[in-house]
Amino acid sequence: MIRARRPRISPSNGRTQARTSTRPAAQVACIVFGDGEIVAEAVNLLVQTHDPTAHAEFLAIRAAAAALGAENFTGCAFTLLAHCCPMYLAAARIDGLFSVL
């Protein structure tokens, strides 16, 4: 099982940003958990970055990989304030993120 370090981000920051945003594309947040701790969280940044791949899910995977120092997240789970996009579901399965909360 991967041991997660405590993140340097606020657990509610991403959810608050997503819920209060006036841009529909930004109203998505993703949180990755490991060992009962929040490993990473992110919100959609498509509009701000003009990057069509800047989905909250992918940004959360990148942040989790950096926080854990690993590219496999077996034993971790994620929650999302929207429906998962097909690209993310494929990436999550490859990376070992099988649990959706």
3-class DSSP assignment, residue 41:
strand
Please state, as a whole number, how many other Cβ atoms lie within 10 Å of the Cβ of residue 19: 12
pLDDT digits (tens, 9 = 90+) for 89-101: 777 777 666 555 5
pLDDT digits (tens, 9 = 90+) for 56-96: 888 998 999 999 998 888 888 888 777 777 777 777 777 66
Structure confidence at residue 21 (pLDDT) = 52
Domain ranges of the chain: 13-100
Return the higher-pLDDT residue of 100 and 44. 44
* Residue positions counted in the chain: 101
Q: pTM value?
A: 0.65
The H or E element that residue 34 is part of is: strand 29-34
Fold that domain 13-100 belongs to in CATH: Cytidine Deaminase; domain 2 (3.40.140)
Identity of the residue numbered 8: R
Structure confidence at residue 1 (pLDDT) = 36
